Chain A
Amino acid sequence: MKLQTKLAWASAAVLMSLAGSAHAVTEISWWHSMTGALGDRVTGLAEQFNKSQNEYKVTAVYKGSYDEALAAGIAAFRAGNAPHILQVFEVGTATMMYAKGAVKPVSEVMKVAGEKFDTSGYVAAVAGYYTSPKGEMLSFPFNSSTTVFYYNKDMFAKAGMDANKAPATWQEVVAAAARLKASGEKCAYTTGWQTWVHLESFSAWHNVEFASKGNGFGGLDARLTFNSPLHVRHIENLENWAKQGYFTYAGRKNEPEAKFYSGECGMLTSSSSAYGNVAKNAKFKFAVAPLPYYSDVKGAPQNTIIGGASLWSMNGKKTEEYKGVAKFYKFLSQPEVQAKWHQETGYLPITNAAYEMTKKSGFYEKTPGPGVAVQQMIVKTTDKSRGIRLGSFVQIRTIMDEELESVWSGKKSAKAALDNAVLRGNELLDRFEKANK
């Protein structure tokens, strides 16, 4: 049975390649990590593009989770048969961009293909993450989300609070947590993606540096700085809230989201892309609000940091193929395509035109959730809020997770943990700098 399916696939592949050569269609391979409904939409995008013209054929292939797809892409590149387009998550950005000769910047792809390319049409806080200090766009922003605040309206009403007024600052969050606790709730507040929300986005949101050299945009010699008094203050607060039972730690990634939509926790900070899941599962009224901040910090709130992934074009392909890649990027940038993607998935729109189009259609009035994330991002970014570009960032995130856990479990003080995370992370940055000279 297995052999038969394999044979069937093989013969199908042969037929497809024959068909391809017969019509002289240029094949473009696209490796991605989107599953479920998102995976269907990705395939849908490729099909829509293929139908729109007859010179190029984009084939979308699912290659496992983000880190698996990245590892597969690296292995394929080393073996000399990388895909044309590889979807890489935001923490892998530095790994990709410093691999000189392995990737071809989007702006170069466009130049090779002779396509006009204007980067000013892209949402700055999204595209900025993937743009070099010289303004050259390195990868094509595809699916971006950011950190937002969710709260259970029913629970708020039950605790005697105004359900239509979300806590805007951390001070208000803790006051609300106390009220929820007092009304007998077991879990007041929890957070998904603790490092992204409480260190990365927290820094940009308060316009303080996460790392030197503009969070690493200025070069490989950037070092971590997230042990500043403001960071320590925030983590110390969370530590105290954990002790008082206001904050419940529930895991490093998106596991805590389940604690919110099951109705156990009253408040949640997590990715804006959790919206769909929350809307589907929550049996109560909830609302999305901007990420809380400290009102006494100057410049806050600025903008939050994006998560998600972008599309990288791998080096060493034929000009003809790059033309196809450029055409595909152009297709993805079309306001209609973008607006549809944004409205269907809840990911941020990557062009201003798509945002305007969605706004005009009245989408945000009907579903205010996704609009909050967009509002947080549609601002002019600063050097401290543009994004984070650090090598070995996958491992640095693990280090931050580990050190934060030692704070929540009471093993270390906030200051000691953050100092240690900076120290350990900087060792990795040293190593990355040496390896990529």
Chain B
Amino acid sequence: MLFCGAMNCWIVSKKRISKNLKTSQHRDTEGAQRTQRKTKASHFFVCLAFLLFFSVSQCLCGELSGFKYSLEVFLEKRARFRSAWLPYLLLLPQLLVTVLFFFWPAVQALYQSVLLQDAFGMSTQFVWFDNFKSLFADETYLAAFKTTAVFSSLVAVLGLSLSLLLAVFADRVVRGSSIYKTMLIWPYAVSPVVVGVLWMFLLNPTLGIVAHGLRHFGIEWNNLLNGRHALILIVLAAIWKQISYNFLFFLAGLQSIPKSLIEAAAIDGAGPWKRFFTIVFPLLTPTTFFLLVVNIVYAFFDTFAIVEATTQGGPGKDTEILVFKVFNDGFKGGDLGSAAAQSVILMSIVIVLTVLQFKYIEKKVQY
């Protein structure tokens, strides 16, 4: 949660900075270059401050417009604070919330991961790294890594492609576009458990209408015994839930692309495919990159309810993803030590993944 917030903030702050750059570029190229130098120098510190400042508001309400405004104020009118302590005082409430609700639990998780405790916390032993050792000695835990990797990449790649496709179509619709858009945004309001149950009913081998239809095509659908079918089920449910979110961002991204560029390309004789891949998609890369990180974080952290409602990790362990195991062992099994160790591992994976994404993929992003 903490890192999700922090990373969101990092990405968004970078995005906003680049947006500032873009707008100023339109105004004046020289000025933009100046700003860029200045921004790059202070980039690290700004981000650090925003990491604390906005992670809460990001995670809690995701109010991007307010965010943008405060960021601009902070960037451009920083000099207005005369006193040295006032900015810190203003930051204090946010900092407190961040520390209390994000850092404190994270530290607690680190501490719990070296403890062996009964469910009620009546007896506690300090066991160093035993929790980690027993996890890595467990074959099934290692198998869960593989499942998670497959699941997360499927969710991120398929989810993003589908939403991009839908957004491109929605962008082209002339009549009734608002109805179309509203319908596409709806699924986001549905809770993950309900999403899981919904897909489970559709694909239930006995009652499911989709399973029934598949039987007509000679496919004997049985997600209770076939691991691949079960994986398809949770991937479908996870994607369906996230499509609206991706769709919204892609649509916003598409609408901010100047029509003149596309028209100019069309006049030059570029077909729709060429226009999409040489103009639209490159201009969408910042959005795509942001969504890629968000979707991977989503697939890693937010999908346990879907698994819980549909397959419970089965058949066998074929759909047991890491975050579901954390939930199952900690919440259901009452084994907080092991669950904390697992969430620490999960946290490190997501940090490493996000850093890697910024290091290698971000280079391909054109702000």
Contacts and interface: CB of A to CB of B under 8 A. Distances in A.
Q: Do A and B bind each other?
A: yes
Main SS at interface, chain A: helix
Nearest to B338: A431
Given A78-B121, A436-B123, A402 B313 contact: yes
B225 A408 contact: yes
B116 interface: yes
Interface string A255-276: 0001100101000000000000
A251 B205 CA distance: 10
Interface in A71-124: 71, 74, 77-78, 95, 98-102
A437 B123 contact: yes
Contacts of A435: 116-118, 123, 125, 335, 337
Interface string B312-338: 111111000000000011011111011
Interface stretch (A17-25, A205-213, A391-399): A391-399
A71 B331 contact: yes
A417 to B, nearest CB: 9
B124 to A, nearest CB: 9
Contacts of A401: 314
Interface in A226-268: 249-252, 258-259, 262, 264
A431 B130 CA distance: 10
Interface in A27-84: 67, 70-71, 74, 77-78
A424 B140 contact: yes
Sort chain B's interface into a size bin.
20 to 34
B206 interface: yes
B313 A411 contact: no
Interface of A: 67, 70-71, 74, 77-78, 95, 98-102, 249-252, 258-259, 262, 264, 392, 394-395, 398, 401-403, 405-406, 408-409, 411, 424, 427, 431, 434-437
Closest 4 CB pairs of A and B: A99-B120, A405-B315, A102-B120, A395-B333
A172 to B, nearest CB: 26
A95 B334 contact: yes
Interface of B: 116-123, 125, 134, 138, 140, 205-207, 224-227, 312-317, 328-329, 331-335, 337-338
A249 B222 CA distance: 10
A434 B116 contact: yes
B226 A394 contact: no
Contact of A258 (B122, B140, B206, B338): B206
A98 B118 contact: yes
Contacts of A262: 206
Contacts of A431: 116, 134, 335, 338
Given A250-B206, A264-B206, A436 B118 contact: yes
A78 B225 contact: no
A360 B121 CA distance: 48
Contacts of A100: 122-123
Contacts of A95: 118-119, 334
B312 A252 contact: yes
Contacts of B225: 249, 405, 408-409
A411 B120 CA distance: 38
A395 B122 contact: no
Given A71-B331, A406-B315, A99 B119 contact: yes
